[in-house]
Amino acid sequence: MSLKNINLLLFLILFQLQCKSQKVDLAYTSEILKIIPVSENVFRHVSYLETKDFGKVACNGLIFIKNNEAVVFDTPTHDKESEELLAWLTNEKKATVKAVVVNHFHIDCLGGLAAFHNHNIPSYANEKTIELAKKDNANIPQEGFKLQNELEIGGATIMNKHFGEAHTKDNIISYIPSEELIYGGCMVKTVNASKGNLEDANVMEWSNTIQNIKKNFPNLKMVVPGHGKPGGIELLDYTEELFKTN
């Protein structure tokens, strides 16, 4: 074999290895929904929203499963996707969904909420989220809290808390201590992301809110944003810097 052919062969092998390394393992996939493992107990669900300004947008939510009980953070974008997610949890994971937590009042957080209510799954949100959802004629979460709420499933605790205004007035974070993980929703940006939709944002307070979150959770292992890839504390660092006003 000539040196040229050997170099070509090595290139093809390296290219294939690179493609395999970039491939994302999926727990479930369809045309409208993907479920991606984050850890043994945590999965990211991805559904899609057609928008006027940004085209087709992939939207993240989260699933936490512990001892055959589950909590979903943000619904998929529509009821059909939510039904697929609930079927997967029931049939594949043998898990009972105990609650759905809504991050803020936009459709990429509660578009599929009716499907959860149809299955008698209680929904939780900041009181401001309920107020804004009513004004927006959106699906309305059932149980409101002022600043903080705690849920327990399968012996594990989840904290949902409003740290301040950012992407919206009502946005919260959800913290799972056993996983040292935060689901930040759309107030947290994946690294190199743009500022995104600012229609309901408080850009003057956004960076301060992120600083407040970082002070409260200095030892995070995982941060999951509302759009794009999860990561570590660097997502909070990037978001804080992105919205600095001085």
Active-site residue set: 104, 106, 108, 167, 186, 189, 197, 227
CA distance 75 to 59: 10
CA distance 103 to 101: 6
Tell me the two tokens of residue 40: 């043994």
Long-range contacts at 47-50 (CB < 8 A, ≥ 24 apart): 47/76, 47/77, 47/78, 47/81, 47/112, 48/77, 49/77, 49/107, 49/108, 49/111
Secondary-structure percent of the chain, ordered helix, strand, coil, rounded to 5: 30, 30, 40
Burial of 117 (0-12, 13-18, 19+ CB in 10 A): middle
The SS3 assignment for 90 reads: helix
